[in-house]
Amino acid sequence: NAGVTQTPKFRVLKTGQSMTLLCAQDMNHEYMYWYRQDPGMGLRLIHYSVGEGTTAKGEVPDGYNVSRLKKQNFLLGLESAAPSQTSVYFCASNSGGGPSGELFFGEGSRLTVL
């Protein structure tokens, strides 16, 4: 049982390059999220989606774009990478409904921007 899978797990970019992180979940979840994790900052929400074809901004959306063309996939794009985007990125999903639903996380994607 795969759960939430992120690719790639590691990537090094030069400033100004673009890339896409892919998140795939096999639990038929409606809600998907992209977080970034930085030392001392905890997890900050970048963008999220409440269903196929929908996206919305989180706390720190600048410099990122997302798409949810298929229910199981949530893509995070960096059009022009900057050193400030060096971070560990986590994708998560849940069913969204009810107060106690668990959030399921991928293993993370470590991005370094030189």
Quote the least distance from Cβ 23 to other proteins, whole Å.
11
61 lies in the site for other proteins, by CB under 8 A = no
- For other proteins (CB under 8 A), the number of binding residues is 29
Look at phi and psi of residue 7 and say left if phi exceeds 0, alpha if psi is from -120 to 50, else beta: beta
Q: Which of 21, 23, 25, 31 binds other proteins (CB under 8 A)?
A: 31
Q: Are strands 10-13 and 109-113 parallel, antiparallel or unpaired?
A: parallel
79 lies in the site for other proteins, by CB under 8 A = no
In the numeric block, which tokens belong to residue 112? 């370094």
Q: Which of 2, 28, 40, 62 binds other proteins (CB under 8 A)?
A: 40
Residue 84 DSSP symbol: G
